A and B are shown apart, each in its own frame.
Chain A
Amino acid sequence: MESKLEDRITLLDGSRIIIESAVAAGAEVFTGYPITPANLLYAYAGKRFPVFLPAPDEITALQWLCGFSSVGKVGVTATSFPGFALMLETLNMAYLMELPMVIILAQRLGPSTGSATAGAQGDLLLLRGCISGGYPIPVFCPADFKDCQELTHQAVKAAIQMRTPVILLTSKEMIMTNRSFDLNEFEEKEKVSLKYFENGKPYKPYLADEDTMVPPFLPLGNNQHQVRINSSTHDVNGFIQKATKEALDNTKRLKVKIEEGMKEFNFYSLNEIDEARILLVSYDISSDAVLEAAKVLKTRNVLVSTLILKTILPVPENILSILEYYEKVFIVEENLSGLLREILFGIQSQSNIYGINKIGEMISPEDIIAEVSSN
C-alpha cells in the first residue's frame, strides 16, 4: 500500500471531469440555466469556461449559444428534461443551420418535473426523434469517469467536425457521485479547432465538401466573404427555398452527413466471454450494475458477455451484428418501457430479448442476477 510519488489519487465527481474535458477540447462558451441534477456542471462551468453566461431561461441559453457558434465560438450548455424540452426548437434550428455545440442532458425522473433529485434513464427515445423528420443527432453517453473525459472530448470533436449540435447524455448518479480516482488515468488531449474555409473561390455557405458532406465554415461578420446562415429550408447559398430540389438535397444531406461522419465515432465496450450465450447490454449509470452482476454470475458459473454502449445514436451498424450473435439479450436501463430496447429491436416482442427495468432507484446487480437466473 506504499504511496507512489506519481499517484494522483483524489475524490471527484463526473461533472468536474466533463466540464474540464469540454474546455480542454476547445469549447469556449457556456450558457445555461441551472437545473437539478445539472447544477454541478453549471457551477464548474463558471470556474472554467473562458466565457460563462447565466441565461434567464433555456431557450435564451441555447439561442445565445447559436449566436456564439455562428461566429466560430463553440459552446456547451447543460440541462435536464424540463429545460431540454424548452430547447427543442432551437436545437432543430442549430441542426439545420449546422452550428457546432454540445448539449449535456442530465437525465432525471419524469414525466414532467418528476423528481429533480432522482436519477433516471428516460430520455433516449426523445433524443431519437428530437429533430423533426427523424434526422439523426449524435448522442454520446459516458459509462464511467474515463468516459466522462473521453466522450466529452469526442462530443466536442464530433460537433466541430460535422458542424452539428451533439448530445452528451448522462444522469444524476454519473455526474454527482464522488469516487476515488487516479488522475493519471486521463490522457492528455489535443484541442480541436474549427477549420475555416480557405479557398479563393466565392463562398457558398452550404456547399458541402463532397467527401465529408460538411460545408466549410466561415464566421458571420468576417471581412472576406458574406455568410448566410438559415434555419428554414434553404439552398446552398443559404437562401430560403420551399421544397426545391436544391433545397431538399441540402436537407437530405444532413442525414448522410451524420451517418457517415459518425463512423469514426463508434464507441462501446464489449467484454466477450468465450462460450457465453447471454449478453447484457446497458449504457450510462446502469453499466456499473451490469459489470458487477457479470462478475457475480461468473462465480456462479453463469457466463455472460457485456456490451456497454457509448455512442448510442445513431446506432452503430456493427452493434446489431453483436446483438444477433447471442441467444439471449438482456437490456438494462432505468426506465419502465425499455427505450434502448425499442431503439434496437422495435416494439414487436421477441422471446429472446429481455428488459431489466426499474424507476425511482438505480437498478442493482441483484436485480440483474435475479432476472438472468429466472430466464
Chain B
Amino acid sequence: MVQELRTETKIPYCPGCGHTVATNNMVKALGKLNIAPNDIILVSDIGCCGLVDPLLSCHTIHGLHGRAAALAMGVTLGLNNKTKKVIAVQGDGGATIGLQNLLEVARQNVNMTLIVQNNMVYGMTGGQISGLSQEEFKETILPELSSIPPFDICLLAHVAGASFVRRIIGRGDYSEALAEAFAHKGFSLVEIVGMCIPYGIDDIRELTKISAQELTLENDKSVFSVTPENKSSLFKSIKYIEKKYKSNLKGKMSVLIAGSAGEGVQLAADLLTQAGVASGLYATKKGEYPITVGTGFSVSEVILSDKEILFTGIDKPDVVIVVSEDGLRKISKNIGEDSLVIADHTLQMPIHNKLFTSEFRKAAGKKGAVLSAVSYWLKMSDVIPIDALRNAVSKHKHAKDLMTLTE
C-alpha cells in the first residue's frame, strides 16, 4: 500500500488560487504514476507556490527565490538514481530571477521536472507584474508597460534544449498532462498558467482568453548525468628532483627574468628553479603576464637560497635577465644599483655598471634567447653548475632543441 502523498495539512492558499488546483493535479498525476513518496524529492522556491512543502509527504527542500531549478539540478545529479523523481516548483517571479538556472538545466537536459506556476503577478508581495505577465493583463495594472511582451518560458526552455516542454492553462483536471511530463526521461518543463484571486486574473474564462496558447514541444536529446570517477592523486604525477649537484650560494639570491609572451620565459625560469633545487637549494618561482597571455611581456621571479625561503617578494633583484623590449619596459624600474644585468644586445639599456650584453636573440632565435641568457649567466657565476640546468633540460619533452641553447 503506497503511503498517501497528500498530508492532512490544510491548504494555505486563498480560495480559488491556481496553486491549489496545481497541487491537487500534481498529487493525482504522481498517484497515476504510482511513485512512492520516498521516491519523490520536491524542490520549492519562494513565493505562494513555495508553501507547498507541508502539503506533501515526500522529501522536500525549500530554497531561495529563483534557484529551485539549480538546486534541483544538484539534487538530481547527486542522487544519480532513475527511480527517484525530482520536481522543482517555482512561480513566474522565480522563473525570471533564475532564468540562467532554468536555461542551464534545459540545455544539459538533466532528468527532472520544473513546474513554473505562472499567475502573471508576484502574489506574495502585493501583485506586481512579472516578466511573464501578458500584455492584456498589464493593461489593467501598469498600462505604460503593456506594449512589452512577456517572455515565453516554454519557447525559451525549448530553444535552450529542454527535451519536453508543455504549457497548460490551469483549469479542472489536467493530471494526465502533468503525468506525461513527470514520466518523461530527461528535462521536462511545465508552465501552468493559473489564477491569483486578489491580484491576478480571477476568472477562468478571462485567463483562458489572455493566456498564451497551450503547447507541447519536444527535442530529441540525450539525458545528462554524472557518474563519480576515482582519479589518481595529484602528487602521483609530479616529478621529484634529485639533489645531485652542489651550489656555492650563501644566503638568498633573487633573479628577475623578463621577455615577451610565447618566448619561453616561464619555461626558462622553471628550468632554472629545478636546477637550483637539484643543487640542494630552496627555491621559489612565480610568473607574471598580462591577462591576454599571448601578447606583451612575460616576467618570472625566481628566488634561490641555501636556507628555507619565507618571504617570496623581490624588491631589487640580485640578477636581471632581460631579452626583449616588452620585458624591459615592464621591469626597467626594478633594476637596482647592485643588480647584475644580462641583456640582449639590441636593447636600449640604461647606463649600468654591472651590465653584460650578448646577441641572444640573433644567435638563439627569439624563442631560445631567454634560456641561452640564463645559461650565459650560470656560466659566468658560480651559483649553480650549468650541468644542473642541463640535467633539468634533459627531462623536458623538447630536450634536444633546448639543450643546444645551454651550450
A-side interface residues toward B, CB under 8 Å?
Answer: 1-3, 7-12, 16, 19-20, 24, 28-29, 31, 36, 44, 47-51, 53, 55-57, 59-60, 63-73, 89-90, 93, 97, 116-117, 173, 176-180, 183, 220-224, 226-232, 238-240, 288-289, 291-292, 361-362, 364-366
Contacts and interface: CB of A to CB of B under 8 A. Distances in A.
Given A10-B238, A47-B231, A50-B228, A292 B310 contact: yes
A49 B71 contact: no
B30 interface: no
A102 B70 CA distance: 18
Contacts of A56: 100, 104
Interface in B276-292: 276-277, 279-286, 288, 291
A73 to B, nearest CB: 5
A229 B58 CA distance: 12
B71 A63 contact: yes
Nearest to A46: B231
Closest 6 CB pairs of A and B: A67-B74, A63-B70, A50-B228, A64-B74, A68-B78, A1-B280
Interface hub of B78, B84, B313 (most chain A Cβ within 10 A): B78
B246 to A, nearest CB: 5
Nearest to A218: B59
25 contacts: A7-B242, A11-B241, A11-B273, A29-B78, A44-B234, A48-B231, A51-B229, A59-B67, A66-B63, A67-B72, A68-B77, A71-B78, A93-B63, A116-B291, A178-B270, A178-B285, A179-B282, A179-B283, A180-B276, A180-B281, A221-B81, A228-B62, A229-B61, A240-B51, A292-B311
Given A64-B73, A178-B285, A230-B60, 14 more contacts: A1-B280, A9-B243, A10-B241, A63-B70, A70-B75, A93-B64, A97-B63, A177-B312, A179-B284, A180-B276, A180-B282, A180-B283, A227-B59, A228-B53
Nearest to B86: A221
B62 to A, nearest CB: 5
A179 B234 contact: no
Given A19-B234, A44-B234, A60-B70, A230 B78 contact: no
Interface string B40-57: 010000000001011001
Given A66-B63, A66-B74, A231-B64, A239 B53 contact: yes
A73 B75 CA distance: 10
A177 B64 contact: no
A364 B311 contact: yes
A288 B63 contact: no
Given A51-B226, A288-B310, A288-B312, A9 B241 contact: yes
A240 B39 CA distance: 22
Given A57-B100, A231-B62, A67 B77 contact: yes
A89 B54 CA distance: 24
Contacts of B62: 228-232, 240
B239 A364 contact: no
Contacts of A97: 61, 63
Contacts of A2: 243
B78 to A, nearest CB: 4
A288 B74 CA distance: 40
A24 B235 CA distance: 11
A48 B228 CA distance: 11
Nearest to B304: A180
Contacts of B240: 7-10, 183
B224 to A, nearest CB: 10
Interface string B95-110: 0000011001000000
B246 A60 contact: no
Contacts of B111: none
A221 B79 CA distance: 8
A221 B70 contact: no
Given A9-B277, A228-B53, A68 B74 contact: yes
A51 B71 contact: no
B228 A28 contact: yes
Contacts of B311: 288-289, 292, 362, 364-365
Contacts of B84: 221
B229 to A, nearest CB: 6
B240 to A, nearest CB: 5
B8 interface: no
A90 B51 contact: no
B184 interface: no
B54 A12 contact: no
Nearest to A57: B100
B233 interface: yes
B76 interface: yes
Given A7-B243, A66-B71, A240-B62, A222 B38 contact: yes
A49 B288 CA distance: 28
A226 B70 contact: no
Interface string B208-247: 0000000000000000001011110111001111111110
B79 A20 contact: no
Contacts of A31: 74
A20 B226 contact: no
Interface hub of A31, A63, A97, A223 (most chain B Cβ within 10 A): A63
Contacts of B298: none
B80 to A, nearest CB: 9
B142 interface: no
Nearest to A94: B63
A93 B67 CA distance: 11
Contacts of A179: 282-285, 309, 312
B37 interface: yes
A67 B285 CA distance: 39
A183 B311 CA distance: 20
